[in-house]
Structure 1
Amino acid sequence: MKKIIKNGIPILSISLLIACGNNENKKQENPQNSETSAPIPKDKVIRINDDILNAIYSQYAHLTVALTKDNVTEAKLAANAIEVGAREISYNSNLAARAAAIVSAPDIEKQRAAYSKLSNEMVGLLKKAGMAEAELYVENCPMAFDNKGALWISSTKEVRNPYFGAKMLKCGEVKEIIK
């Protein structure tokens, strides 16, 4: 019973943050700025074979959208939820530390640098866990970080670049599909 409560509280916290975040995004959505939004399609169900990682991915998607919109505050909220959920992962992972770096970052550029490390970690974890339903796309921006390039994960093939936001929203390409 204690284990259920111990594991359930972080998952419930993440779920509440997801629900609260979704309502806020609907209220603040600006029709003129729909070019920068990259919501997960409502008809597409993303399900990962690991329940905790599944909850974390929801916040990762929220984080990605926040970075595409250059929104430091939303990025911190999503990264905080990732950090809480990542503490519950039973296998060795640096996910919590990567998320904490985004939370403590003073500006969007530092958040994006930490997001790159978080994304690399997520790609590995998602490949290991596998998908129960749907597929995810590993996308790459070759121009990020002085042309060194950086990856991120998306639920759609459509590129919405979190590393440059509105400046270069469509810069990038699909590199791999996680099934």
Structure 2
Amino acid sequence: MIIMKKIFLFIAILAIATTKISFAQSKADGAFNQVLTAYFDLKNALASDKKDLATAKAKALVVKIDAVPHKDLPADQHKFWMEQSTLIKAKAKELANAKDIKIQRKAFEGISYPMIKTLRTIKFNTSTVYVQHCPMAKASWLNEKENIENPYYGSMMFECGDVAETIKAK
């Protein structure tokens, strides 16, 4: 009887721990997807040549990054996220303070590479994401659509680039 109670207690504790871990991961995934949406908003502002909107979207991206519950992540992901988020935030702040869209676009490149690396490593996306590359800019970015929308040249070369990789939904 006592052994049976200990077994049930062990199973209950295991179930609670598993539920807590999966809840924490789903909470983190939701926050990461909000970061990804904020990134897409910024990319879309640059692709449509909207400098002032890009400034606002860069600030919104920083807010979303700060909202990620990174302490709930496993240790290796936490360390990785802290490194990448630091890079992304620094470039997002640089982009937000830029007075020229060309400088904003250069800063966006510094946002895109850690975002691509984060998505590949943590695999949090709930929908398919496309890694696109512009040979003229020699730079890549993430897109929520398969159609090319070049944030590095905007209307000058809106469709310049190709899909380099497809990252399927989690």
User: What TM-score, normalized by structure 1, do the two folds share?
Assistant: 0.67
Q: Distance in 1 between matches of 2:127 and 2:65?
A: 22
Q: Do residues 96 (structure 1) and 89 (structure 2) align? A: yes
- Select 1:169's aligned residue among 151, 158, 162: 158
Q: Secondary structure at the match of 2:117?
A: helix
Gaps of 5+ in 2: 1-25, 71-80
Shift of 1:133: 2.9
Cross-structure match for 1:30: none
Q: Do residues 50 (structure 1) and 50 (structure 2) align? A: no
Q: Distance in 1 between matches of 2:140 and 2:49?
A: 17
Deviating above 6 A after TM superposition, structure 1's stretches of 4 or more consecutive aligned residues are none
Shift of 1:161: 0.7
Q: Secondary structure at the match of 2:150?
A: coil
Is this contact kept in 2: 1:80–1:99, CA < 8 A? yes
Q: Secondary structure at the match of 1:116?
A: helix
The one-letter code matched in structure 2 to 1:140 is H
Q: Distance in 2 between matches of 1:111 and 1:76?
A: 8
Find the structure with the greater CA-based Rg: 2
Is this contact kept in 1: 2:33–2:125, CA < 8 A? no
Is this contact kept in 2: 1:52–1:88, CA < 8 A? yes
Cross-structure match for 2:60: 81
**Structure richer in helix, relative to its length:** 2
Shift of 1:88: 3.6
Shift of 1:155: 1.2
Higher mean alpha-carbon deviation, 158-167 vs 49-58, is at 49-58
- Select 2:129's aligned residue among 124, 136, 146: 136
Shift of 1:95: 1.8
Distance 1:132 1:63, change over 3 A: closer
- Count of residues in Structure 1 that have an aligned counterpart in Structure 2: 129
The one-letter code matched in structure 2 to 1:57 is L
Gaps of 5+ in 1: 1-46
Higher mean alpha-carbon deviation, 124-133 vs 52-61, is at 124-133
Cross-structure match for 1:114: 107
Shift of 1:87: 2.5
Q: Which structure 2 residues correspond to residues 62-77 of structure 1 after superposition, within 5 A?
A: 62-77=41-56
Cross-structure match for 1:125: 118
Shift of 1:85: 1.8
Q: What CA deviation, in whole Å up to 9, does each residue of 1:115-152 have, x standing for no partner?
A: 001000110111122145321000000101xxxx0011
Q: Distance in 2 between matches of 1:98 and 1:134?
A: 25
The one-letter code matched in structure 1 to 2:113 is N
User: What TM-score, normalized by structure 2, do the two folds share?
Assistant: 0.70
Cross-structure match for 1:157: 146
Report % sequence identity. Answer: 32
Q: What CA deviation, in whole Å up to 9, does each residue of 1:57-110 have, x standing for no partner?
A: 111111111111111110011100111222244231222112111111111000
Q: Distance in 1 between matches of 2:42 and 2:105?
A: 10
